[in-house]
Amino acid sequence: MQFDIARRPNPRLSQHHASPSGWVISHDLGWTLDSRGGTQVLHKGLAGNRCAITMDHAGWSLETYQSRSFPLWTNEARDRVTNCEPLHERIHNFNQVSHDGDSLRLLFQEPEWCTGVRRGLPIMSTQAVLDRVCNMLVGHARSLDHLGLPVRAVYTGGVDTALARAALDYAGTRYTVVDQTTRHKSPNHQYVWDNNERASGRFWGYNQLADTDEPHIQATGFWGDEWMQRNPLYVSMYLHQHGRDITKEFDSVAGEAYMTRFFNEGYRDKIAKFDPTWNPMGHMIDRMTNDFQMWHMDECLTWTPLHSSVVFESLLRLPPEAAIAQCLHADFSRQLIMMLNPDLIEGINRHKNNRQLKQHI
C-alpha cells in the first residue's frame, strides 16, 4: 500500500492515476477505483489496515480506518504527500489530510477510543480483557472468508504469529503455513527494498513477509509488542502511574524470561534514559499510535489483527501484575492462544526473536 500524491508521477511506483483536479496518484498494485459522479475513490486494504484517496475537481483527501498503519510525509512546498520515503515534514497520526487545490490541510482529530485512554480509564479484570480481545480476533478472522483470497501465515516461532493463527483456527478460516526459511524476495518488489533503503530501514517489516506475486492475504502478528503490552519502554510508562518499575521486574526473574534478551539488547538503556516525570501516559500514547509496523505490498494484503482499537484500549486497562507478566513472559498472549488453539503453544520459541526455530508446523 505504497503511494505518492504529487503533480507528477513517481517513476519508482508501477501504477499512475490522474485525478480530476490534475494530481497524479502513483501507487503499487491492488488498489480499486470507484467513481461516483464527479468523485473518484481509490482504495485498498482490510479492516484496521486500509486507505482511501478521494478525488474531485477541487482536490483530494486521504482517509484511513481507526488508526493509520503507515508513516506519512509531505515536502517543504506541501505539494507532495507520500508514505514511500521521508520528506521535509512527518505527518502525525490522526491528522485528516487533504488538499483543496490551494493548500495542504491537516486537521488533528484523535478518536474517542484513544482520548479515553489519555483521560484515564478504570482497570478491568484480566479475564474481561481476554474475552474482549478474543471475541475481536475471532470476528476479524471470520471476516476474511468472504474476500475469496487464499490466506497464508509464516511460521516464525513467535507468539504473535501463533496468536494470529490460533484466531484463524478457532474461526474455521482455512490457511496455509509457510516455513520462514523458504522466504525470498520477488524481483517485482525491488521498489519496496529500494524505498526501505531511502527510509533508513523504516519498512523493516517487509523482510518478515513470505514474498510472492500471487494475490493473497498474509496473517501476521505485527503490533504484538507495541499494542499488546510487550514493548518494555511503553510498559514502563504504563507502570509508572502504578508505582512499578519494569527494569526491577526483569531483574527479579530467576533465569531468563521470554522477553529478557529482547529487553537487554534494546530497551534496558532506553528506559534508563527516559524521564518519567514528563506526562508518561501521554508520551506513551503518542509513541504507540505513531509506531508504524506493516501495511500492504501490491496484491499481498497483510492481515494485522493486533492493530485494533479494541487491543489498544483494552490492554491499557490490564491490572499492573498482568501487564508485567505479559511484558516478561507474554503471559496474556499465551492465555489467548490457550483459549483459541492450545496446540500452537508448543511451537513458540523459548525466547523472543530466537533464531533457532522449533519446527512445529
Same domain, yes or no: 225 and 130: yes
Query: In angstroms, what is the C-alpha Rg of the chain?
Result: 21
Q: In Å, how far are 121, 181, 233, 334, 338 from 124, measured between CA atoms?
A: 9, 40, 22, 19, 20
Looking at the domain assignment, is residue 355 inside a domain? no
Contacts 24+ apart (CB under 8 A), 251-254: 253/328
Same domain membership, residue 201 and residue 96: no
Q: What is the pLDDT of residue 297?
A: 87
Q: Which of 93, 108, 123 is the last residue of a domain?
A: 108
User: Is residue 60 domain-shared with residue 171, that is, in the same domain?
Assistant: no
Same domain, 219 and 342: yes
- Residue carrying the nine cell digits 496484491: 299
Same domain assignment for residues 38 and 154: no
Confidence (pLDDT) at 37: 86
Q: Give 315-346 pLDDT, tens digit per residue.
A: 999 999 999 999 999 999 999 999 999 999 99
Can you give the pLDDT at residue 360?
A: 43
Q: Is residue 353 part of a domain?
A: no
Q: Is residue 360 in a domain?
A: no
**Least confident interval from 124-133, 211-220, 258-267, 352-361:** 352-361
Q: How far apart are CA 104 and CA 244, in angstroms?
A: 44
- Name the domain count of the chain: 2
Nearest to 28 by CA among 269, 234, 228, 189: 189
Tell me, yes or no, whether 95 lies in a domain.
yes
* Res 357: pLDDT: 40
- Residues 138 and 340 sit within 8 Å (Cβ to Cβ): yes
239 Cβ neighbours under 8 A, 6+ residues apart: 245, 246, 320, 323, 324
Indicate whether 267 and 292 sit together in one domain. yes
Q: Indicate whether 135 and 81 sit together in one domain.
A: no
Q: How confident is the model at residue 180, as a pLDDT?
A: 63
Query: Domain end: 86, 108, 130, which one?
Result: 108
Which tops the pLDDT comparison, 275 or 310? 310
**Is 121 found in the same domain as 83?**
no
The reported pLDDT for the residue numbered 93 is 96
Q: Which among 108, 140, 158 is the end of a domain? A: 108
* Residue 359 domain flag: no
Q: What is the mean pLDDT of residues 67-81?
A: 95
Q: How far apart are CA 28 and CA 15, in angstroms?
A: 6
Q: Which domain holds residue 319?
A: 114-347
Question: Average pLDDT, stretch 150-159?
Answer: 92
Identify the pLDDT of residue 181: 56
> Cα–chain-centroid distance for residue 177?
21
For residues 21 and 60, state if they share a domain.
yes
Higher local confidence (pLDDT), 23 or 212: 23
Q: What is the mean pLDDT of the chain?
A: 91
Q: Is residue 58 in some structural domain? A: yes
Whether residue 139 sits in one domain with residue 101: no
Residue 128 sits in a domain of what CATH number? 3.40.50
Question: Do 59 and 133 belong together in one domain?
Answer: no
pLDDT band at 279 (very low <50, low <70, confident <90, very high): confident
Tell me, yes or no, whether 74 lies in a domain.
yes
Nearest-angstrom CA–CA distance, 359 and 361: 6
Q: Which of 187-201, 213-227, 342-356 tops mean pLDDT?
A: 213-227
Model confidence pTM above 0.85? yes
**Is residue 280 in a domain?**
yes
235 shares a domain with 93: no
Mean pLDDT of 294-312: 93
Does residue 212 have a pLDDT over 90? no
